[in-house]
Amino acid sequence: MYCYQCEETLNGTACTKNGVCGKKADVADLQDDLIYVLKSIAFYNSKARANGLNDTKTDEFILDGLFATVTNTNFSKADIERYINEGFVIKDGIKKKLMDAKVINEKSGSSFPRWIKEKLLGASPNAGEDIPVMAKVTPQTLASIDTGVLATENEDIRSLRELLIYGLKGMAAYAHHANILGYKDENIIAFIEKALLATMDDEMGVDELVPLVLECGSVGVTTLALLDKANTTTYGNPEPTAVNIGVRGNPGILISGHDLRDLEQLLEQTRGTGVDVYTHGEMLPANSYPAFKEYDNFVGNYGGSWWKQKEEFEKFNGPILMTTNCIVPPKDTYIDRIYTTGVVGFDGVTHINASEDGGKDFSAIIEQAKTCKAPEQLEEGTIMGGFAHVSALSVADKIVDAVKAGHIKKFVVMAGCDGRHKERSYYTDFAEALPQDSVILTAGCAKYRYNKLALGDIGGIPRVIDAGQCNDCYSLVVIAQKLAEAFGLEDINDLPVVYNIAWYEQKAVLVLLALLSLGVKNIMLGPTLPAFVSPNVLNVLVDNFNIRPNSTVEEDLKVLL
Ligand code: FSO
Ligand code: SF4
């Protein structure tokens, strides 16, 4: 095991025995194997796509396989083994199709040919082309292949390959959510295949990988825009909402993660049953969607961000549905109340599968809820949310006037993720120390470090503008672009907007790459820099984008303001 994909990696270097997140070494190794199998599928499927022979099942499998390896998503050995086995079946199926159509033949390939740059990235692959060794992997040969991160010896190439793969994992997660709602874009999958293959091409050097990493960011923007469209077209545009954080006396179900379709189905099935529904973690922004406000049993949000779940799930008393990451290995005291769905998995926890049409039967969860006590109250009152781009821009004039009048001097983007390490209290301290004439723009679970502080408002504009889930960082980009327009600026870097971003897992890596691809400069990143970014790759990021690590609240306030 060698995993360094998240911010909490051991000693800021790598988890090599068991993960800090709770991932076991055997599962980590299997996840590496799964990524390798996905790369081999990418070879065949990119050819199938170029020849009109691909199918949506394979596209979905690629997304799900990548998503399952995102931090805190799937801890189940059996699940990852199942993905690998299914991957081989899918790969053999496409290979047969391609051979039948004479797109490829069975000549033995001893090296990795230059088809990535010369053929795959350009015109359609030629008929009768050789198959590279990596694509010939079988369940029998997989065990003898080093699929781990360290298989790439050169530190900088390894760094760029992993940066790319982590960006792809984030992209896959967001594309998966859009897909579930029927919003698909084949170009996203085609890019994922191209990039997966690029990480296997020993002839691709730093100069070729850097542009691909930035392309990952710009396809990331496309993916975030697609998910935004999927969510808002299906459930309406989020509207400014005071979300209840207290509880009622009925038994409840807690739903966590990012999947709005799961929430919709749960609300539909619990309607009239006497069981209440509460959001947790990244599901909080769902309270601001018009479609969900229709349900009388949708009460509000319970608790804080993902890493507090051990304590809070205990007190919730009822069943909990995990629709995506972040799941923390559950304690024995409540493991019988945890359910997973989608790509989430944990051994010993009941998993709810979808039927062919995406429908899910949550009756077992509802029945269990009826036997449970009501949730224990953790706090009371409300928190404001729902400032996605449409609602935020509806008050754009007011915001522009406040800036022109000097009432707002800076917007501070503090989006991203929360985490369990003590040093993250920095973000609470930073939010509190910001001058009264600054406004925080946020999205993602990072907000839990300051969204319950009494930071007040500026002439009716709240000092924390919460756009929603981490994917709603897209909204922040739209808001910044519209503000630039309103001020007649050509470069968004000329806006009074600064960035102090907190990252944790691979979706945040994609969001960061998306911002870079849009030309955003001077991003401050913390609480630590990614372990997978080598000193030379960091230099590239510093030279081109002036990315910098955060330090102390005092220092950073000086630098940013
Ligand atoms: Fe947070 Fe977890 Fe949304 Fe992540 S709950 S950390 S970036 O999965 O996805 O913000
Ligand atoms: Fe370690 Fe993070 Fe990998 Fe978990 S996901 S094993 S904490 S680096």
> Where does 393-448 show beta strands of DSSP type E?
410-413, 438-442
pLDDT for residue 118 is more than 60: no
Q: Which two structure tokens, joined as six digits, stand for 126?
A: 């030629």
For the segment 350-354, the average pLDDT, to the nearest whole number, is 98
For the segment 61-79, the average pLDDT, to the nearest whole number, is 98
pLDDT digits (tens, 9 = 90+) for 532-558: 999 999 999 999 999 999 999 999 999
306 lines ligand 1 (CB under 6 A): yes
pLDDT band at 107 (very low <50, low <70, confident <90, very high): low
DSSP sequence for 80-132:
HHHHHHHHHHHHHHHHHHHHHTTSB--PPP-S--THIIIIITTSPPPTTBPPP
Looking at the structure, do residues 67 and 205 belong to the same domain, yes or no?
yes
Pocket mutation for ligand 2, best pick of 8, 327, 503 (most atoms within 8 Å of C-beta): 8
* Amino acid 532: pLDDT: 98
Task: Please give the helix or strand (H or E) that residue 280 lies within, else none.
Answer: strand 276-280
23 lines ligand 2 (CB under 6 A): yes
What phi and psi, each to the nearest 5 degrees, are found at residue 175?
A: -65, -35
Looking at the structure, do residues 40 and 176 belong to the same domain, yes or no?
yes
> Where does 417-534 show beta strands of DSSP type E?
438-442, 457-458, 461-462, 464-466, 497-502, 524-526
* Amino acid 123: pLDDT: 38
For the segment 88-110, the average pLDDT, to the nearest whole number, is 81
Looking at the structure, do residues 227 and 286 belong to the same domain, yes or no?
no
pLDDT digits (tens, 9 = 90+) for 273-317: 999 999 999 999 999 999 999 999 999 999 999 999 999 999 999
Query: Ligand 2: which residue has its CA nearest to atom 2?
Result: 6
Question: What's the number of domains the chain is made of?
Answer: 3
Domain of 100, CATH number, reads 1.20.1270.20
User: DSSP state, 345?
Assistant: B
Residue type present at position 259: D
> Where does 293-424 show beta strands of DSSP type E?
298-301, 320-322, 338-341, 350-352, 382-385, 410-413
User: How close is the Cα of 476 to the center of ligand 1, in Å?
Assistant: 17
Q: What is the mean pLDDT of the chain?
A: 94
pLDDT band at 117 (very low <50, low <70, confident <90, very high): very low
Q: Which residue has the higher pLDDT, 36 or 102?
A: 36
Looking at the structure, do residues 318 and 353 belong to the same domain, yes or no?
yes
* Amino acid 203: pLDDT: 85
445 lines ligand 1 (CB under 6 A): yes
For the segment 239-260, the average pLDDT, to the nearest whole number, is 98
Query: Ligand 1: which residue has its CA nearest to atom 2?
Result: 326
Q: Around 127, how many Cα atoms within 13 Å sit in the side-chain half-sphere?
A: 6
Burial call 508-531: b when 16+ CB within 10 Å, e when fewer: bbbbbbbbbbeebeebbbbbbbbb
pLDDT for residue 80 is more than 70: yes
Looking at the structure, do residues 255 and 205 belong to the same domain, yes or no?
no
Distance CA 94, CA 87 (A): 11
pLDDT digits (tens, 9 = 90+) for 186-215: 999 999 999 999 999 888 999 999 999 999
Q: Which residue has the higher pLDDT, 395 or 111?
A: 395
pLDDT digits (tens, 9 = 90+) for 463-478: 999 999 999 999 999 9
User: How close is the Cα of 8 to the center of ligand 2, in Å?
Assistant: 7
Q: Is the Cβ–Cβ distance between 533 and 159 less than 8 Å?
A: yes
Is the residue at 327 inside a domain? yes
pLDDT for residue 110 is more than 50: no
Ligand number, closest to the Cα atom of 445: 1
Helical pair 77-100 and 25-50, crossing angle rounded to 10 deg: 20
Looking at the structure, do residues 306 and 217 belong to the same domain, yes or no?
no
471 lines ligand 1 (CB under 6 A): no
What is this structure's pTM?
0.96
Q: How many residues does the chain have?
A: 561
Looking at the structure, do residues 284 and 228 belong to the same domain, yes or no?
no
Residue type present at position 322: M
Distance CA 351, CA 440 (A): 38
* Amino acid 125: pLDDT: 43
% the chain with pLDDT above 70: 96
Domain of 496, CATH number, reads 3.40.50.2030
pLDDT for residue 99 is more than 90: no
Looking at the structure, do residues 148 and 214 belong to the same domain, yes or no?
yes
* Amino acid 387: pLDDT: 96
Task: Please give the helix or strand (H or E) that residue 509 lies within, else none.
Answer: helix 506-517
For the segment 324-337, the average pLDDT, to the nearest whole number, is 98
Give the domain range for residue 36.
Answer: 10-233
Looking at the structure, do residues 193 and 274 belong to the same domain, yes or no?
no
* Amino acid 128: pLDDT: 43
